[in-house]
Amino acid sequence: MDTPKPITRHEQFIAGKNGKIEYVVVPAKEYEILAEIVEDYGLGLAMKKALKDKMYSKKDALKFLGDA
């Protein structure tokens, strides 16, 4: 396995007995930034998929949900 390219400034790698990287330690603030990036990416994928789904009128949507 190649050594990962750092995407943070203060990460630390912890290797197992075989020398393979098993853990990455990052400061909490950098973790929060990384988590937000991943969340935004996932939201973007969901929005892209939703654009391909069938669209309903408000009336039809409420009927489907049982609110009309």
How does DSSP assign the chain, residue by residue? -PPPPPSSSS-EEEE-TTS-EEEEE--HHHHHHHHHHHHHHHHHHHHHHHHHSPP--HHHHHHHHT--
Q: Is the pLDDT of residue 68 over 60?
A: no
Q: Considering the domain boundaries, does residue 28 fall inside one?
A: yes
Q: Considering the domain boundaries, does residue 2 fall inside one?
A: no
pLDDT (0 to 100) of residue 23 = 96
Tell me which residue range forms the domain holding 20.
Answer: 12-65
Q: Considering the domain boundaries, does residue 45 fall inside one?
A: yes
Number of domains, the chain: 1
Q: Considering the domain boundaries, does residue 39 fall inside one?
A: yes
Q: Considering the domain boundaries, does residue 7 fall inside one?
A: no
**Which residue did the predictor score with more confidence, 3 or 65?**
65
pLDDT tens for residues 38-65? 999 999 999 999 999 888 899 998 998 9
Entry pTM = 0.57
Q: Average pLDDT in the 11-24 region? A: 95
